[in-house]
Structures are given as C-alpha cells and as structure tokens.
Amino acid sequence: MRQRLIGLVVFSFWVLSAYAGTIHLGSAADFAVLGEAGVTNTGPSSIYGSLAGSTDTPAITGFPPGIVFAPGVLYPAGVANSGPGTPFGDATAAFDAANGLGSFNEGTLSLGAGGLLSLGPGVYSFTSATVLLNGLLMLDAGGSNDASWTFQIPGAFTTAAGSSVEVVDAGSSGLFTGSITWAVGSGATLGTTTTFLGTIISQAKTALDTGATIGCGRAISLDASVTLDNNVIDAFPADCTVTAGGGIIPPAPIPEPGTFALLSFALLAMVFLTFRKSRVSSLS
C-alpha cells in the first residue's frame, strides 16, 4: 500500500506482517557488546552494559579510553562461547529463535530507500544478499509499549551514513518492554553517525563506524569480532523508555574529538574564572 505524505512515499505492512513476539536473550541480555573473536575500540566509546569476548579469543583493546559503565562489567578473560545459560549460547539460541519465526517476505526491499518507511510490529525477512538501511526507518508501535519487530537478514546488513531507526506511536510514558531484533546471517556494519535501535546478532563481524549509536539493544557477533569507533551502546533496560510523544529517544552521540576539546576548555575556563572571582571577593 502506498500513500503520499508530505511528498514522501510511505510503505506500511501492518496487515501482512507475521507476529513477532519478544525475542528473549537469556544471560546475553546483560551485555551491550559480545564479540566471539574479541572487541576492538577506538576513542571514548560509552558502553552501558557488560562487554566481553569469548574465553577462546578474549582480547579486548581500547578500554580505556572506552568506558563500560556500572553495573555493566568488562570481562578481560572472556565468557563461555557455547552452551545453554552462557552469554554466547543464549545469544545463539535467540538468533535461531528469531530466524525460526514465520515472516512476511520483503524480497529485495532496501529499508528506508525511496522515502519514508514505516513498519508495524512483525517479522520481516529478505532475499537479497545485502540489506541496506538508507535513511529513516520508522517502527510504528500502534500504541503499545511491548511491540516487537524481528528482521531476518540472510546475508550482510549495512546502514548508510546518517541513517536512523525510530519507534513512533508507542504507549504511555514509561519503559519500553518490547524487542527489536536484527538476525544477520553474515556481517553487520552501522555507517557513520547512524542512530540505531535494537539488538544486532550477526554471525560474522559487527562494526560500528565513527559516531554510530545503538539504543535499546546490543552489538553481538557469534563467530567474529566487534569493532567500535567513538560509539554509544545502551543496553540498560531503564534507559529504554517511551517519551510523552510516544517515541523512544536513542542515546546521544559522543562529541567529535575537536568538539570535546572545546567543551573541556570552556569548562576549565569557567572553573578558573569562578575561582579567581571568589579569591578577589575574599581579598576585598
């Protein structure tokens, strides 16, 4: 169905999409980043949730300057990479569960291409070797705080620079209790400054380019590494909230190094001027 809306083409698949349900992550839910072959970071990435490689390949580099915020835990020795009840084992089970759902076949549609794309809750599968998100993808929750979306991507998944995923028309203000799951059969790459929502579970490498963010979700690679570059990934449930307008606010990106330096200089200048003013006042 196609409708004209302020000069943009809007695609809606409310009726045709299969029922998604919530994809449960088990022990993997505590993690914002899991890379079976390790995790590599550049710059001051902010991770809200635990981070680990596997016990076989536990290498983690770039922390610091990257920060894992409590109660998230950084596991330098890695975590178990197989079996029920282990982070990688439960992530694999979630991947299999996501791909086992009945779905509406989107064929070779590129998400966000051709205008404004709006998808209701459901399961969406693709036949193209590479699925591209190019622009804005709106996930219409239909007035619910527990709506769920699952994307079955058989090959690679890539987002163009500046692309975004947004949830609209959720329920009342409060926690979002649904799920957004991206089951990727090959590698996943989020382009520069992409604003993303949901959990990526890929079989190959997951890479976040400079300034990309993930809210209400995680970056998980079952068989390869995760690479980060000045990113924010927020897996804390308490941070996945619905605003009064029915949307979900994604995490704010980290300022570019130049901007960060200017902000730091301005703050130091303010502290110095305040201190100097207080000294002058005390001496007068």
pLDDT at residue 22, rounded to an integer:
84
Nearest residue to 150 via CA among 112, 195, 95: 95
Could you tell me which residues come within 8 angstroms of residue 268 by beta carbon, excluding any fewer than 6 positions away? none
First to last CA, the chain: 76
pLDDT number for residue 262: 38
Residues 68, 90: Cα–Cα separation, whole Å: 22
Q: 185 and 224: one domain? A: yes
Co-location of 194 and 268 in the same domain: no
- Could you tell me if 219 and 203 are in contact, meaning their C-beta atoms sit under 8 angstroms apart? no
Kindly state whether residue 101 falls inside one of the protein's structural domains.
yes
In a domain, 249, yes or no: no
Q: Are residues 118 and 60 in the same domain?
A: yes
The tokens for 240 are 């996945």
User: Tell me, what's the pLDDT at 113?
Assistant: 59
Domain count, the chain: 2
103 shares its domain with 11: yes
Q: Tokens for 67, please give them.
A: 């920060």
- Gap between the Cα atoms of 38 and 60, Å rounded: 6
* Residues 163, 259 within the same domain: no
Residue 172 lies in a domain: yes
Together in a domain, 140 and 71: yes
Nearest-10 Cα torsion for 92, 95, 100, 101: 150
Residue 257 is predicted with a pLDDT of 52
Nearest alpha carbon to residue 147 among 100, 186, 179: 179
- Distance, in Å, from the CA atom of 84 to the CA atom of 169, rounded to the nearest integer, reads 36
Q: Which of 136, 150, 137, 221 is nearest to 179 (CA)?
A: 150
* One domain for residues 153 and 271: no
Is 261 inside any structural domain? yes
Encoded tokens for 131: 């699925």
pLDDT score of 109 = 65
Residue 248 forms part of a structural domain: no
Distance (Å, whole) CA 245 – CA 44: 31
Partners of residue 130 on adjacent β-strands: 156
Helix, strand and coil content of the chain, in percent to the nearest 5, comes to 15, 40, 45
For residue 113, being part of any structural domain is answered with yes
Same domain, 174 and 265: no
* Domain match, 127 and 84 both: yes
Same domain, 174 and 280: no
Predicted confidence pLDDT, tens digits, the chain (284 residues)? 333 233 333 333 333 456 667 899 999 999 999 999 999 999 999 999 999 999 999 999 999 999 999 999 999 999 998 899 999 999 999 999 999 998 777 766 678 755 557 899 999 998 888 899 999 999 999 999 999 999 999 999 999 999 999 999 999 889 999 999 999 999 999 999 999 999 999 999 999 999 999 999 999 999 999 999 999 999 999 999 998 888 887 887 876 554 444 333 333 344 334 434 444 344 44
3-class SS of residue 94: helix
**What is the extent of the structural domain holding 152?**
2-242
Residue 83 near residue 62 (C-beta atoms within 8 A):
no
Q: Are residues 70 and 139 in the same domain?
A: yes
272 and 166 in one domain?
A: no
Q: Is residue 204 part of a domain?
A: yes
120: in domain: yes
- pLDDT for position 130: 87
